[in-house]
Structure 1
Amino acid sequence: MSSSDTSPRPSKRARHSLDQGSSPLHASSSPFSLTNLKHHPEFWFDDGNIVLVAQHTGFRIYRGLLAAQSTVFADMFASATSAANEVLEGCPVVHLTDPEDDLVYLLRILLPTSPTCYRTPDPEIIHSFDEIFGVVRLAHKYHIQPIEDQELRSLQEYWLTSDFDVFFGPSKSHIDMEPVHYIGAVNLARLTDTPLMLPLALYQCCYLGSELLDGWIREDDTVEYLSPEDVRRCFDARIALTCQESFLVSRLFDVIHPQRCKARGRCAPIVAALSYTSMREQPSPVVHALWEWSPTLVGLQGLCEGCVQVLHERDKEQRRRIWDALPRILGITVEGWGKPSEGAGNAA
């Protein structure tokens, strides 16, 4: 959702950080009549024994099933039962400050009503990033650690991996990610203290342009912004990444040793011409510092097999060098970055 520099900011409800979005768990400050309550079609069970209210929508569910998975919910329900300030059809009513859509996403995992609600490796089932974001936020808020860990792992399987070979391998992700979603990914990494997600998330944010300031508009019209510190990181790193792009190209099309050329050095003028052209062309907005040159190299005319192989090796070597340096370029410290690992590091 691109916007020009001259277009006004969208008039949306802003959420500058996830911590600020976590308001008190109980009744909202504005008066609300239960007679106007809309029953959620998927989560209104006639034999449910508690009613959750989010954005004027009611969820009549089973108290015990949620309380067994969240100590926060258990405490809330115990308080609601003892106080019994509001009752609907014999059920205690608990008001939440969470977006309705996020609550639906979480309940579909905790109280699945169909097989598609289960997290499976089925490539046919694609989940939106908005869904993953909402589930992680609420799972963290309500202390449902297994769900939080599960959703974070799904992000780290590909889009936010710390493994170089996984990132440049075939995508097996079941999450639909757009560039602007990485704003939310940075905020999730900060919220959940998952620093291994930060290098790629911040790297992608560096290339958002004005969208970095516009923020990510969620399905419920709230807007996620990076913190001022992370915005500054992205602006500073963008300059460094541009230098890395130029250095990569200069190394990629550097002189090839005659012993590697199977055409007895006849490829040298072609490589020199490629270097001249690539260094003088207008920078492409789609060419990032980690952009993979190998697919382009396959179609080069006039180069022998040996020289093409050298270019492939250089391409991977230079991308790996930039990959390993991402935390330093972004001004953060991440333990374990660049190594195949499921553990979390520490970031500053």
Structure 2
Amino acid sequence: MSGSSKKPMRRAVVPVSKTLPTDPQDQHSSSEEVDPIFFTPSPSPPSNTPTPDNASALPCDHATGEPHRHPNPTRHPDFWFHDGSIILQVESKLFKIHQTILANHSEVFAGLFDVPPPLPTGTTEGDDMVLEGCRIVVLHGDTEKDFESLLRAVYNPSYFDDTLPPSADVETLLDFISGILHLSTKYLIRNLRQRCINLFTSKFPATFDEYTAKSTPQPSYSSTRSSSHKQERYRSDTLMRALHLAHSCNITTSLPYLYYCTARLSLHRLLKPRPTDVDWQTKSVVLAGRERLRYATLAISYSFLLVFERAPTCAEMRCGFASGPGREWRSIVLGGESGIGSAPTPPTAATSITNAGGVNGISASATAERKSKSSSNRAPNPLRLYTRWPELGVCDRCVEWNKGVHERGRREVWERLPGMFELEGWDELRKAQGS
């Protein structure tokens, strides 16, 4: 056969929006170009290639020109519809599904399916293979498990509610949404992507109000205590996994809080490499941000203890000489109630630095130094809500005034959170995330 008589291979090229990147390596710089996804029709295989379910031919991998690495694909038991109009091969599974359903959900598949009508079984036109009257398309880079989860979510509107318990922990939630999130991002299935993002941000908030709702103690009527709230704790491997997922699926609005949580891990854990960890470049950003969080604790959200101000309406002179704020500040600095960071002990109006450590002179300095060294490994937590107001020993008006100062400081820390980890501002992160 002459070269001029051979029909050219048809290739559907569908670019991916820059707001929905698919390559995890591209996440550190959202302004970089993202390679398009290529959906390649399969050429005719060598005559000795095994065929799936009595079909006459098997798709090949255009990247190498060799037969596909799964020489014996099988039909998926749940997604092989007799009235299906397209066959998608993902690894070793064949899915015969309805292209109109996928096209209605996915902008990418809508472009992919813009092809001529199907041919008779076992025939080819150019490089397109057909089985049971349906064109076969190989989807590269996807896994059977992830694609099956995606199809279940597409075909069953109640799949999320039926499968994921409302009280699911973070590991269960990540297991459930990871595959759907990856593929809904890749194929621009916006409603499924947004639903996954909503579940993701329920664990890793994207706004200060979401954070406070998640972290504020809830009233309990079954206990004699005023409140009972067990805040969810995340394993270090889970945080690393979530950070990977947010980068690879472009959930940019959750990145600041994920960095914040990762920065609060122990230094020993951050410096201990594990196969599933983020890379060292990301860890260096985390470690630099950790020091910025320490500064934010002392200078912003907890500064009301360091430089205590009486309320403008305060009528009690004792509030101006109260030693409680200084004691609380030192407790926080040296790893007391909040366990936050270390810094030099501040002077106060009613407390001597010399006697701050419980002993005087050099002995007190050495004690403070030992405490500082031991507390330097403690993670800063500037967003934490201060609750020990009775310990300040000041009037109610001063307490209410400084509660407002503390709240404004916490909000300021949240607003500055992206910059502490070398990210763009919140508005830019929301625009980059898109839908």
State the shift of 1:139 in Å.
2.5
- 2:135 equivalent in structure 1: 92
Moved more, 66-75 or 302-311: 302-311
- 1:64 equivalent in structure 2: 100
For the 8 Å contact 1:45–1:60, the answer to whether it is kept is yes
Structure 1 pair 265–203 and aligned structure 2 pair: CA distance change class (3 A):
closer
- 1:257 equivalent in structure 2: 310
Give me the TM-score of the superposition, normalised by structure 2: 0.56
State the shift of 1:102 in Å.
2.4
Distance 1:157 1:240 in 2: 26
Distance 1:301 1:40 in 2: 66
- 2:211 equivalent in structure 1: 167
For the 8 Å contact 1:109–1:118, the answer to whether it is kept is no
State the shift of 1:246 in Å.
3.1
Q: Give the counterpart letter for 2:385 in structure 1.
A: E
Partner of residue 39 from structure 2, selected from 22, 25, 29: 25
Partner of residue 384 from structure 2, selected from 291, 307, 312: 291
1:318 aligns with 2:409: yes
Q: Give the counterpart letter for 1:293 in structure 2.
A: Y
Structure 1 pair 261–325 and aligned structure 2 pair: CA distance change class (3 A):
farther
For the 8 Å contact 1:16–1:227, the answer to whether it is kept is no
Moved more, 240-249 or 151-160: 151-160
% of aligned pairs identical? 22
Distance 1:298 1:46 in 2: 69
Question: Which structure has the larger Rg?
Answer: 2
* Secondary structure of residue in 1 paired with 2:148: helix
Partner of residue 84 from structure 2, selected from 48, 72, 75: 48
For the 8 Å contact 1:199–1:326, the answer to whether it is kept is yes
- 2:17 equivalent in structure 1: none
1:275 aligns with 2:335: no
State the shift of 1:52 in Å.
1.9
- 1:5 equivalent in structure 2: none
Structure 1 pair 142–255 and aligned structure 2 pair: CA distance change class (3 A):
closer
- 1:327 equivalent in structure 2: 418
State the shift of 1:243 in Å.
1.8
- 2:158 equivalent in structure 1: 115
Q: Give the counterpart letter for 2:287 in structure 1.
A: F
Distance 1:262 1:123 in 2: 50
Q: Give the counterpart letter for 2:239 in structure 1.
A: P
Distance 1:288 1:77 in 2: 51
Give me the TM-score of the superposition, normalised by structure 1: 0.67
Structure 1 pair 21–32 and aligned structure 2 pair: CA distance change class (3 A):
same
For the 8 Å contact 1:37–1:56, the answer to whether it is kept is yes
RMSD: 4.6
Distance 1:332 1:164 in 2: 17
State the shift of 1:290 in Å.
1.8
- 2:261 equivalent in structure 1: 204
For the 8 Å contact 2:84–2:96, the answer to whether it is kept is yes
Matched residue pairs, number?
312
User: Unaligned regions of 5+ residues in structure 2, if any?
Assistant: 1-22, 28-32, 41-59, 119-124, 217-232, 336-374
Distance 2:99 2:162 in 1: 23
